[in-house]
Amino acid sequence: GTSDRGGVGAITKVIKDSVHPILMTANDPDSPRIKDLYKICLVFNFEPIDAERMSEVLTRIAKSNQAEIPQDIIDQIIENCAGDLRAAISDLEAYTKRGTTPQSTDSVIRDVRRGTEETLRRLFMTTDSKLARRILSESELDHDSLILWLEENLHLHLVTPDELDRGFDGLSLADLSLGRIMRNQNWKLLAYMYDLIAVGVAGGRTDTPYRKVSYSKPTWPILVWQGNQSREKRKDVLSSLSRLGGVSKRRVTRTHFDTIAEIVGIAPSKIKDYADWLGVDKALLKKRGKS
């Protein structure tokens, strides 16, 4: 939406005018909306607290409050909070105050929305397709972005040929399912898309141990944008040739354009003359001529 329009500019002004340090937190540091803040801020990334450390803290809190909390409940709280100790303490307190029976673990399930980095990290960390399915359902990524991010980073965790085969096979089938969903608006198929990703990605890693890596943003949208830009520039040249030559764009494409490209390829000094005549940037003709 546009409800936060101008927010980054206002924050930037406050930072520049302030004589005191300013601390800010961001749930999605990869958001393009805050890229300008990176130029004037120091960025500190806080990693999730590991499960063992969280278990120690929660157990100590429970004992200090004379609360008997089964270990399986503590483990469930830790899993649901994904390294967020503050959230885990809140859930522990809520569980204790409600007096939930020790046999029930459903009462501590937290409704969370996970960002890009956390979604990928947790998804690649597990080999349990059921848990992977749940991680996907909690992600903030939209369906197209999820597939693009996985396609870009799958090879970092699924390394062997067999793992890559299973991973990309599941991902391609998920992409096909998404295409059918969008064409027919049949959102009942969404569950199958998640299942295919969960089985292909999480279940596909059988030999390579999990390791922490840095994830790359999808390059496919950039390539599409660059291709569109190139086609738009080519259209400008074809339009000029069509107007000046008094022939159709189709005829220009088959004859005139390639002829000019061949000429400037042989005689680069002619590029400026043709660019001025056509009223286009000579860089486009230069690139075309060299190819």
pLDDT over 50 (residue 246): yes
Candidates 13, 3, 2, 19; CA nearest to 36 is 13
Determine the average pLDDT of the residues in 50-69: 88
Predicted confidence band of residue 290 (pLDDT cuts 50, 70, 90)? very low
Q: Over the stretch 108-129, which tens digit does the pLDDT of each residue have?
A: 455 555 678 878 888 888 888 8
The per-residue pLDDT for 288 is 47
CA neighbours closer than 13 Å in the CB half-sphere of residue 84: 16
User: Which residues, 6 or more positions from 233, have their beta carbon under 8 angstroms from its beta carbon?
Assistant: 280, 281, 284
258 falls in which pLDDT band (50, 70, 90)?
confident
pLDDT at position 243 is 79
Band of pLDDT at residue 228, cut at 50, 70 and 90: low
The distance of Cα 190 from the centroid of its chain, to the nearest Å, equals: 19
pLDDT at residue 237, as a whole number: 75
What is the spatial distance between Cα 77 and Cα 57, in angstroms, rounded to a whole number?
Answer: 12
Give per-residue pLDDT as tens, 67-103.
888 888 888 888 777 677 888 888 888 888 765 544 4
This prediction has a pTM of 0.48
Q: Across-strand partners of 114?
A: 139
The radius of gyration of the chain from alpha carbons, rounded to an integer in Å, stands at 28
- Note the pLDDT of residue 212: 81
Range with the poorest average pLDDT among 45-49, 239-243, 251-255, 280-284? 280-284
**Sequence-ordered alpha helix ranges (H) in the chain:** 7-17, 51-64, 71-81, 85-98, 116-125, 129-137, 143-153, 161-184, 190-197, 220-245, 249-254, 256-266, 271-278, 282-290
Q: Rounded to an integer, what distance in angstroms lies between the CA atom of residue 26 and that of residue 15?
A: 16
